[in-house]
Structure 1
Amino acid sequence: MASNKTILMLPGDGIGPEACNQVRRIIDWMAKRRSVSFDVKEGLVGGACYDVHKEAVTDETMADAMSADAVLFGAVGGPQYDNVERHARPEAGLLRLRKDMDLFANLRPAVTFDALLDASTLKPEVISGLDIMIVRELTSGVYFGEPRGMQTYEGVERCVDTQAYTRAEIERVTAVAFDLARKRGKKVHSSEKSNVMETGLFWKNIVTEMHQSGDYDDIELHHILADNCAMQLVKNPKQFDVIVTDNLFGDLLSDAAAMATGSLGMLPSASLGGIDENGNRKALYEPVHGSAPDIAGKDLANPSATMLSFAMLLRYSFDLQEDANMIEQAIQNAMTSGKRTGDIMADGCEQVGCSGFGDAVLAELDKLAA
């Protein structure tokens, strides 16, 4: 592994910097124990950027993100920014990163840890061994469609959001889902609302055409309405391998799947762009949880999701499968040994803080590397 692979770290707000600091410790450990090093640059995003520059992300940081091999993102937001104009609010920084980097495929794994089965509201036998990958289209759909906003129609005030998709937008995210399934259980569920939405029927038809093209004969394809998919994620989640869906439904379904695992604080994500002529793709990795301003700066945060996001970075951007597996196993082992942050605390375990859990993970990495 060449040492000139670049990572742009954007810790952001709230607990983001604390969690990213634990990833910094893993990066330092890798350099010492695995002879794997990276060039890490740090930038401002979200409220931290607004406080200095009065915008959620600067052009200079965007240029760094576009040139980096991968971006690791912390979290953004806080109540002090509730009245900031929409275009400059902390969340606008993340939206710009996704849009300008053309990160159209959001990967949201929902994986259970044996040590945390009791943390879920579902029965252990329902979720034990759960391993789902939700592929959400991220740069189009109702969150970006035009027209949008307030209108007056025949003297009546109304508000409009527009759901719109092109064939190319559907094809490229579906191809990511099929390719991922090929390396997993070879089964894809495509989720939409083809019964009531024109865009849903358009989505279903295009996914069907792609499957029938002959390029994905080895993949088992199922179509499922989004509302039924939400129900099935609670009723029988292990029936799923890869779920591909649009921006809005992906936002909803991925959170439903996340809670089946017991805690949003444990879940990572990846947002991927297309593959360029050199075989590289832009990518941003981030925990699913928010900035948790109520516990920020108190050394109470669970850094697991950010650490697991870094493991995804190693796997999907740098093809460092062994190192990614090692980090995931170290986190599992730390929890099994009884080290827990407050959000996943259980009887008989030792409650530790953000840095304490980082200590536990590093200790487990030492054992795995011995």
Structure 2
Amino acid sequence: MPSHSPYIRIVQAAATVLLASAAAFAAPSSKPALPASFAGWQQQSSAPQSPTPADAAALKEFGLTQATAATYEHGAQKVTLQAFSFPDATGAYGAFTYFRQPDMRDLKIGNGGAANGTHYAFWSGATMVEADFARPDAAARHVLSELAAALPKTAGPEAIAPSLPAYLPAQSLDPASVHYSLGPASYAHDGGQLPAQIIDFSRDAEVVSGEYRARRGKGTLTLINYPTPQMALDREHAFAAALKANPSAFGASDPESLLVRRAGPLLAVTTGHLDPGEARKLLDDIHYNAGIVWSNTLAGSGEAKKTASLLLSIAYMTIALALAALVLGVFLGGGRALIRMARGKPLSTMNDDDFISLKLGR
């Protein structure tokens, strides 16, 4: 009807605005992994990159979303960067321990860094970066710290780093030997000494291992976090049986070094060349804290993180729908009122001649 065409146009305009708002709300941010410039360094080239076949499976376990290679120059200096982006801090930390070499020294860059000669590696938020300087100088660490500050930021559960490494006793630990794994490929690459089939990564297990100085050489402590204590108890029995029946499956370890202990959902296994006293002390120094493990589960790839993400998504969508309903109400109600005012009619329809009344009171 022609008399209603302005009203229809307002409805169509409101629908367009709402659809555009919903699309903007739902669309994920597409920030580049690396900035165009930082600390005076200017990007010269940048291109997507595929992980090498040797690294692809492990990076997939950490949830790799994109990889980018770029070169930067600052005067006569040049640096080549490789950035690996992940859904959360857990993936970035895992990739950092995956690429960190044993001879790298620890550096304070971003959330954690290491270097050896011209090669640097660090992680910040949900991004892990490898850097190779043509001629590194004393300012290299400061430059990469500036880069870390310019990387995309994460928030909420995705910004929580894994807490499982905090359970490794600090005394006699070699920090450069710490490796974090979420699957068999990354665990095997990091030199894992436990049979992956007994760990059973299909149970959503996460693993951290570290080497310790011992009187007879070196020993390894491996911690495995399972979603429930019941899973850990089942795997404890499996490890105890394997240690007794086939100790050779645990690498070149002294038989007295092979011990297993459970604490809640955590499972600890010692291997290598520890004497019984050293192995027992390492196991006794592990104290399960439910609060810490809960935070770590949110940061990891477990069911708790999926539930938390789902609840957050529902909350965000509820807020978006409430705002959409408010905007739609303003458009429809306000638009109708404006049309009536333009026609010289009162804002309310109660006094309209075409208003139907049963007049039951007369």
Same fold? TM cut 0.5 = no
TM-score (norm 1): 0.24
TM-score (norm 2): 0.24
State the structure with bigger RCO (CA 8 A, min sep 6), 1 or 2. Answer: 1
